[in-house]
Structure 1
Amino acid sequence: MESFKKFLSYCSSFRAKVGFISFVFLLIFTIILFKLINVQIINSAKYKIAARKQYEEKIKISPSRGLIYDRNMNVLVSNSLQYSFAVDPTMVTKPDSIANVFARVFKKDRNEYLAKLTNKSTSFVYLERKADVANIQGLDSADFDGLIVLKEPKRVYNYGRLAAQVLGYTNLEGAGLSGVEQSMESELAGKDGFVIMQRDGKGQYKPNMDIPKREPVNGNNVVLTLDINIQKFAEEELERGVKETDSKGGKVIITNVKTGEILGMSSYPSYDPNNIQVSDTAGFTNKAICDVYEPGSTFKVVAAAASLEEKLVDKMTLINTENGHYSLANNVTMEDEHKAASMTFQQVLENSSNIGFMKISYKIGPERFYKYARDFGFGISTGVELPGENRGMLKRPIDFSPISLPYMAIGYEVLINAMQLTSAYSTIANNGVLLKPYIIKKETALDGKTIFENNPVEIRQVISQNTAKLLSTLMIGVVETGTATDARIDGVKIAGKTGTAQRVVDGKHSSGSHTGSFVGFFPADNPQFLITVILDDPKGGQFYGGKVAAPVFKRIAEKIIGFSGNLNLNEPKFDNKTTDVNVSNVSNNFILIPNLMNLRLEDAKDILRDLKLTCEIVYPENSKANDFLVVESQQPGANSKVDINTKTIVKLVVKNKEVELKSVLQVPDVKGFSLRKAINVLSASGFDIDINGSGEVIDQMPKSGSSQLPNSKITLFCKQIN
């Protein structure tokens, strides 16, 4: 009986064990089944994507970037084919072999490649980007597990250094970083395509035929106003002039005075955009628009034009020139090269008498002088389609010291760029009408269809046609018998003006450092071409503009005259037309509304404030503080007359100009710099500048090292340091 009980107990225990084990197996089966249902049915899409990521890669297909042409359809910038090599380190079976081959072909340290090849935390890493076909030595057909070979376009600058600062350059991704490449980025870039690549058992990638690739959309082409031959003349003679005068550098701009088209623009030194890595960064900046300087005597055109327009002088008006010695306020004295007791206005201009122009400035007065300088375009961005323009500094009358007016009249206490100076002189050559300078002629599609075309735009009538003609005639005398005789060309009438200014060294004007310049246009009786030449710090014995810059002008002009029969300068077709009105914009009881179209909002507000006009601004939706806003429309329209005694509100509709903000920029440290040097550094770095005070920079906001968007405003706090 006892044995039977033990048997029953054993059976019961066995059944319990079997039941427990069965329960465990059932539980495991249920969990597995649930997992299968979850993977195969409930979250199948999620796991399919995860699985695909293990063997598929989405590869970008770069579009063909648009070409850049000169005005005669010579190809300045084109594309060629390059190879890029990448790997999937998780599939690489022979990292040492690959590293050795790449080190041999590209002459680099094998450990650099080995580090990438053995990094198992990623499934895609570049070994080499955009290698020339001639240098890859068969690597495009190499059979290594995990190696990915990509074909990508390369930017080619067909004329090397020629027009490099205007054209700009691109980064490895093909995005424009300067010049036209940057300003026309959205037009040139096109849109990326892609292809899905599948990895086979050897780790090699092939296109997934089940998923059609998205073809890239190629960029549009851009045609410039530049003429490559004229550009060549400018660069050759500028380099020669810099070397012959032992200058630090220089700038040349050549324009069509009837349209505002830029035919040539150069600054020296330059760089080779085909070899960015080995180029000197000193040549990257387009100094013709980015650098500002005190112009000296070329700025005297403002006082000359204002005094003639306001009928304060005529060409025979006698001006007391104090025998070349003149005492101003604050115990400041002016010693003039010309020791005459008096001169006519014509002689004052021809001899570039500082004392004569100081005397004339007092006749004009601060308010009128400032207004004429502003109307000529100083202190305002010209709007040329290139990045980094520095609008310089033009003091308001409220900020004038007792000696500001006479010193500004001779080109000191004012900072300008070469493009502004060129536009001002073009105004005189163009019957007193200020034109907007431009360098983009048109944008075309791949089939040649024109998408957009620029036409000349008249901004305002600065001086009357009669005044412009008289001033042109007087400037012929500057070349024939005055300070610019080295610019004379037999058989061609040239009108122009020289400039010589002391440069600031260690916070003070130095008698040992100068800027020499000359601006001239020809033929003077029917102007077509204007050439601005500026040489920085000539040390070759001569530094006067008439001796260092005028000869450069002459050589360029002679080459243009010999070539101009082939130049495609058509009769201009204007987007608007300005009637001949008095410079003051005020006639009797009326104010003439200026043309504000396409100007930066800040510049448009400044112009309206100068005219004592109120503005109402209509902003685009979702606009932000750092947006680059330009005037899209205005009401009343340009050249409308409004009653001076009636409060007029000018309505401005603004738009956000399409500027590609590729990345934030770091603010450089400019504390301790001279104001001019600080402005140049910040402008070249892509910032706008607001100035408080003068002299040396003692503080800045935002602080150096902070990250800011391009075109952000940096405020400089300055003080005169003795």
Structure 2
Amino acid sequence: MNKIWKTTMKVRILIVFSLIFIFGGLLLIKAFYLQVIDAPQLRKMADVQFHTKIYFTPKRGNIYSANGGLLATSINEDGIAIDPLMIKHKYKVSKELSQLLNIKLEKVISKLNLNLQFTWLKKKVSSKTADKIENLGIDGISIVKQPVRYYPDGDILAHVLGFVGINDNGLSGIEYKYNKILKGNEKALQIMHDGLGQDIFIRGFGLEKETHGDNIYLTINKKLQYITEHYLDKEAKAADSRGAFAIIMNPNTGAILAMADYPAFNPNYYWKYKPRYWRNRAVTDDFEPGSTMKPFIISGAMQDGVIKPTTIVNGHHGAYYIDGITVHDVGTSFGHMNINQLIEYSCNVCACQVGMKLGKERLYYWLKRWGFLSKPHAGLLGESSGIDRPVSKWSHVGSCEEAFGQGAAITGLQEITALSAIANGGFLMKPYIIKKIVNPYGKVLFISKPKVIRRVINSKTDREMKYMMRLVVKGGTGQYCKLIDYKVSGKTGTGQIADPKTGKYYKNLYTASFMAFVPYKHPKLAMLVVQEKPLKISYYGGAVSAPVVREVFKRALNILNIFPGNKAYKKQVHIMSLNNLPIAANSVKNNINKKIHKIGIMPNLHGDTILSAIKDLVEYDKNITIKGTGFLYYQNIKPGTKIKKNQVILLKFKPLL
């Protein structure tokens, strides 16, 4: 019995130890799997349970004008988010939210029935609506602040700036092209939880400022942009144009000072407009320029020695037959004329003959030389290189047509860049719209510098072309751009529009353009205005586009403190003397002014031109504010009054009637 009991105990012990061994082995195997094989996956699971990353949208960089005027920024706007799992009495809540948010009841119900802990109900609501929803006091409804793009000037510069979508991504213009720079990098705050889910440690606190987008400064002068848009809009409406654009450039640097487009749109509500309103026509649209092409081709012909300003060309009384086609001059019949007159009166027949004499290859060379067959690379979205056939496919009269602006289609940006080359002495500058890029700390990351692409024509040819374009405004087709105090050089253009279906020109649809620079000999501003399909007033560029340039130049020159030279006043002073007006040329008055000026007493400037007035107050030029053009009719400091130190001197001028 004893023996049997001992044997039984041994068996039991053996079984127990065997079980312990097996169980221990299984534990070791399981531990091996947990510690080695399944370790990466388990670590991920633990990381999910004990760590949370809270992502935030970085503040998008601002866009500024050249002088620091705010053009685009981001503001916090209220949005309504919900946790459907927390909301009770869903039908009742849905009815309330539907009424407050103006959303269909069915849509709200579907949102509240989602098996989610977070979803947007509406991303943009007014602060008044947000307050009403918050006052409901319903668990599971949150008011969430989120950055929204805001354009404080509304439609000003809209086609250049573009706009931003609901996910803070640029969708058009500068906002799209420089999205990565403006948007910054998305960062996260990493939060650690204890067993109860409470926050016990935050890593990465303070990262928010480092993730902000960089700020972009444009070359745009905000004041010039305002007046350009105002007068372009006014004239385009009066002419009932389908579209229009205007560009102002500093011809000496290539900086774009203003770029306007008609019709306008408000980027704060971009979704309310058709996509065609978003397009920056000055950059994207190709058009046949018409006679504004003549200065570039004629300059090339003079540079090649094919013609001189005195070369005589037969105008054939307005109709020239060549190779089965007839080239016409519109409205006027010309006989023999020289090249100066060709530009002054814009003779198509004469330009055609110069083009034929120049030849296909050289004319094509000059198109490329002026930059018409390549993208300007100004830093704008959608830049086009223009459209033209290879020279091998030109017809026999191809060089004739190209010489007066038919055949090749160009962009406004290309043309203003080429015009600036004539204005600055013959140098083709690289156009640019980005002045500098600055990070959130104020460090300048990039700054633009003027860049000469190449010299197109020599100084002699350039002077000759400037003079020809001066004649256009003085007594030719561009007289609507005349200014009293400044000499303007310009060129009119009326381009035909081809039917995309037939390839033939419409009989009554045109583009009306005018390009100019000022002052004549040492230009500081170059401007181009193009109107598409004007139906009223006129379809000639000299009638509907030149007035825009005139009105903008009048104000822009004062804004930029660009003063005219002595010679601009000789004729005006003579006119004043004929009208018995008090003038600075009067020797008695001048002697009195000089004596008074020496002791700091305000002289009597009534009837003076701008230049004469400035000469009398040369020591105070930094404190002088000038308004208008023509002859002085108002001065804020009475004659004979002592001029105080740093006192602002306001002088107002107006033309003679």
Shorter chain as denominator, the TM-score bin is 0.7 to 0.9
2:328 to 323, 335, 342: 335
Change (3 A) 1:212 1:561: closer
* Superposition TM-score, scaled by structure 1 size: 0.70
CA distance in 2, matches of 1:396, 1:497: 27
Query: Which of 543, 558, 561 is the aligned partner of 1:562?
Result: 558
Q: Is residue 128 of structure 1 aligned with residue 91 of structure 2?
A: no
Question: Alignment RMSD, CA only?
Answer: 3.4
CA distance 1:445–1:260, shift in 2 (3 Å)? same
Question: Which amino acid is the alignment partner of residue 106 of structure 1?
Answer: L
Kindly tell me: are residues 349 and 462 of structure 1, through their superposed partners in 2, closer, same or farther at Cα, counting changes over 3 Å?
same
Q: Of 207, 222, 226, which aligns to 1:215?
A: 207
- Aligned positions of 1:254-653 closer than 5 A: 254-329=248-323, 331-337=324-330, 338-505=332-499, 506-507=501-502, 508-565=504-561
Name the residue aligned to 1:70. 65
What amino acid does structure 1 have at the position aligned with 2:307?
V
Which amino acid in the other structure matches residue 529 of structure 2?
Answer: V
Deviations 1:89-128 (A, max 9, x none): 45555544553443233211132232223222x5543222
What do residues 564-586 of structure 1 show as CA deviations (whole Å, max 9, x unaligned)?
2299xxxxxxxxxxxxxxxxxxx
Contact 1:302–1:369 (Cα < 8 Å) also in 2: no
Q: Alignment partner for residue 77 of structure 2, among 79, 82, 87?
A: 82
What secondary structure sits across from 1:535 in the alignment? Answer: strand
Please list every run of 5 or more consecutive structure 1 residues that lacks an aligned counterpart in the other structure: 1-22, 568-722
Q: Deviations over 1:169-196 (max 9, x none)?
A: 1111211111111222222111112245
Query: Amino acid of the residue matched to residue 470 of structure 2?
Result: I
Segment drifting more, 336-345 vs 362-371: 336-345
SS in 2 for 1:393: coil
Structure 2: how far apart are the matches of 1:30 and 1:128? Answer: 58
- Structure 1, 136-145 or 164-173: larger mean CA deviation: 136-145
The counterpart of 2:156, out of the listed 162, 165, 168, is: 162
Matches of 1:92 and 1:36, distance apart in 2: 43
Q: Which amino acid aligns with 2:557?
A: I
Question: May I ask how many residue pairs the two structures share in their alignment?
Answer: 548
Q: How far, CA to CA, are the matches of 2:114 and 2:276 in structure 1?
A: 38
* CA shift for structure 1 position 334: 1.6
Distance 1:90 1:199, change over 3 A: farther
1:126-205 to 2 correspondences below 5 Å:
126-137=120-131, 139=133, 144-147=138-141, 149-195=143-189
166 and 46 in structure 1: CA distance in 2 versus 1, 3 angstrom threshold: same
| Letter of the structure 2 residue corresponding to residue 314 of structure 1 | K
Deviations 1:639-679 (A, max 9, x none): xxxxxxxxxxxxxxxxxxxxxxxxxxxxxxxxxxxxxxxxx
Once residues 490 and 534 of structure 1 are traced to their aligned partners in structure 2, the CA distance between those partners, rounded to angstroms, is: 24
- Identity between Structure 1 and Structure 2 (%): 29
Q: Compared with structure 1, are the counterparts of its residues 130 and 27 closer, same or farther at alpha carbon in structure 2 (3 Å cutoff)? A: farther
Q: TM-score, normalised by structure 2?
A: 0.76
Contact 1:81 1:152 survives alignment (8 Å) = yes
Q: 1:88 to 1:29 in 2, by over 3 A?
A: farther
> 1:112 and 2:104 equivalent?
no
Counterpart Cα distance in 2 of 1:90 and 1:34: 41
Q: Which runs of 5+ in 2 are unaligned?
A: 1-17, 564-657
* Cα separation, partners in 2 of 1:159 and 1:519, compared to 1, 3 Å: same
User: What's the offset of the Cα at 1:214?
Assistant: 7.1
State how far apart, in whole Å, the 1-side matches of 2:542 and 2:461 are. 25
Instruction: Tell me the amino acid that sits aligned with residue 455 of structure 2.
Output: Q
Show the counterpart of 1:680: none
Once residues 208 and 512 of structure 1 are traced to their aligned partners in structure 2, the CA distance between those partners, rounded to angstroms, is 77
Deviation at 1:35, TM superposition (A): 8.1
Q: 2-side partners of 1:99 and 1:200: how far apart? A: 36
Displacement after TM superposition at 1:460 (Å): 0.3
Structure 1 pair 184–266 and aligned structure 2 pair: CA distance change class (3 A) = same
Cα deviations across residues 383-417 of structure 1 (Å, max 9, x unaligned)?
01111111111333212112211111111111110
Structure 2 vs 1, CA of residues 566 and 136 (structure 1 numbering), >3 Å: closer, same or farther? farther
